[in-house]
Structure 1
Amino acid sequence: MTDDLEPLKPREAVKMYLDSRRNEVSDQTLQSHDYRLQKFVEWCQDNEITNMNDLGGRDLHFFRVHRREEDGLKPVTMQGQLSTLRRFLQFCATVDAVDSNLASKIILPRLKRGEEARDIKLEPDHAEAILEWLDTYHYASRKHVEVLLAWHTGMRIGAMHAIDVDDVDFEDLCIELRHRPESDTPLKNGIDGERDISITLEIGQVLHDYLEVNHFDVTDEFGRKPFLSSSHGRVSISNIRGDFYASTRPCNWGNCPHGRELAECEAINRTSASRCPSSVSAHPIRRGSITHQLRQDIPTDIVSGRVNATPEIIDKHYDRRTKRDRMEQRRQHLEKLE
């Protein structure tokens, strides 16, 4: 604490900060900042820090460790939380509540696309929010169809890219996945990857409406009619991937969990959507879908056939159920025993 600082309680400092930003950001952003900073206020109370003047770099380190270890925040979430805290401390410096260089002592996690990729997956509540948003505002659009198929079938992006209009059987409610390397749509596991995937009546209706309203009736260079199409022909895998990144940004349906302002966010445009820390590509959706199916107590061998991955591969690379998840599923079966 220096002689130039003026005493200010953490809770009062937060109120002043939020008031200073009230006309600068949306109500949703303000609520998000309020929620994050309340965690900081609670930590200050627990550690008997009653004056912002007393905060130092070591305290910020302990708060970061607390949020990471005790609250279990992932790097992506930590980045958003600490970004808000840093901006708050920058404000506090302007009202003589903390040292002017304190905010610079906050170290943000460095995130790279694919970091801890093995553990990145789309969670059910996230998937539900995405699909509800798509169903409400982008019903039967190409991106609606893509996310719907990825989540409910767990298919790979290459398989989705390979679907022709004639591969969708609305009578038997299934999609035929076929290996056609001679016309640039191979399946990852070749002939062994060929299979028919069942779909529900509700999904079938969305696919039907997509073909009726939003599908481009075009023929590709091999004389095939692609299911996922644009005015130029079969949609490329990179464009499908771009749709996933754009569709999975949380700001589509709610608050930005990273404290970013939309007008300034580098991921606001579709072409840069992958820069959003919370957006995901096809593989995390596939991983989340497989884990979700297993949590619904669908036998591993059934999931294996549906997603074209051996039980061993599923266990090693896709199954993200916790030990407690597995125990509870075993309990349900064991309770049937007399």
Structure 2
Amino acid sequence: MSDFPSGKNDGRGNFSKSTYTRYRDVVNDFLQTQDVSDLMEVEPRDINRWNQLLQRRDYARTTRDGKLETLEVFFKWAESEWRAPRGDKQLSETIIRKRDDLDVSGDEKSRAGDDNHRISTKRAEKIAGHLAKHQYASRQMIEFLLIYHVGIRKSGLLSINCDDVKPRKGIIQIRNRPEETGVRLKRGNNGERDVNIASGVMSVVTDYIEENRTQPKDGSDALLTSWAGRIDDSTLYRDITGLTKCGECTDDDGNSLVNQNASDCPESIGCHDLRRVAITRMRDEGVSWDTISGRVNATVQMLKDHYDSPTHSQAADRRKEEILNAL
């Protein structure tokens, strides 16, 4: 693959060094993760698996679209050179369909945010209500509630120990202990903080710890566990996509999607997108940018640029009181 694309001097053609590096890294990631040694043997299911891997990594939709676009360019070149299947099995067509499913607009690409891959507050509340009725104080309910209530990153959520939960104080401590937990907060020690937890949510968390938490064989004090120990980010991702899938999608055999393939549902979202829903919800409820910044551990400018994504109606509701008072 070293001659893609051909170049006059350094093998990069007219590409800048950064563009060449991006293409190389994306293509190598696909080849290595899908164990590809011969492009002529690549099948659409390999593309599907790689796309699912990007979802499990919790990339924003715009990021996933960019990586798919890069791979699309590569396979169009490979097909034109008769180095990849052509005709009905053109892999570039499979990638185009995956990008169509993402439906990333040109305006979205010009922004760092990811406005449409989200669920509404109403749907989030419906999911929380369903969990309270059918899976009360389950691990999945705790995962969903803490992301939706706190706007916490997945690294922060996975780092929590039972001892970090302080019901009397009404807080959960977020601490950076990578040697102990195997999880590093995104901002390291700068990500440490105490977050206030509403009494109703705290009651669910304590009920989970006392009644439903799986005692892991490694004796870990982790809040979120399986029989083996602290869960990892892939398990958390599957849990969240499983909770947010529409319930109507099926696999190729007509079977309902389960947690393992819930990301195939176009309506499912991962932890990153649920965090964005939580931040938008806090803004809609009148919480100040400064307060949200401390709670979710992100700068105000970062929140404004990347996370807050109100609908037109929500934005109008935010402006309503100020405008009416002014006029």
Deviation string for 1:83-136 (max 9, x for gaps)? xxxxxxxxxxxxxxxxxxxxxxxxxx9345866471212211110121111111
1:174 and 1:198 in contact (8 A); partners too: yes
Amino acid in structure 2 at the alignment position of 1:244: I
2:224 and 2:230 in contact (8 A); partners too: yes
1:219 and 1:226 in contact (8 A); partners too: no
Structure 1, unaligned runs of 5 or more: 1-108
Matching residue within 234, 240, 243 for 2:239: 243
Counterparts of residues 1-338 of structure 1 (less than 5 Å): 110-112=97-99, 116=104, 118-119=114-115, 120-183=117-180, 184-218=182-216, 220=218, 224-251=220-247, 256=248, 260=249, 264-265=253-254, 268-322=257-311, 325-336=314-325
d(CA) in 2 for partners of 1:262, 1:137: 25
Output the aligned Cα RMSD: 2.4
d(CA) in 1 for partners of 2:209, 2:102: 34
Amino acid in structure 2 at the alignment position of 1:153: V
d(CA) in 2 for partners of 1:167, 1:299: 26
In our comparison, the structure showing a higher alpha carbon Rg is: 1
Q: Percent identity?
A: 32
2:217 and 2:227 in contact (8 A); partners too: no
SS of corresponding position for 2:97: coil
d(CA) in 2 for partners of 1:324, 1:205: 33
SS of corresponding position for 1:330: helix
SS of corresponding position for 1:147: helix
Q: CA deviation at 1:197?
A: 0.8
d(CA) in 2 for partners of 1:234, 1:174: 21
1:158 and 1:185 in contact (8 A); partners too: yes
TM-score (norm 1): 0.60
After TM superposition, the structure 1 stretch with the greater mean CA deviation from structure 2, 185-194 or 260-269, is 260-269
2:241 and 2:262 in contact (8 A); partners too: yes
Aligned length: 221
1:244 and 1:280 in contact (8 A); partners too: yes
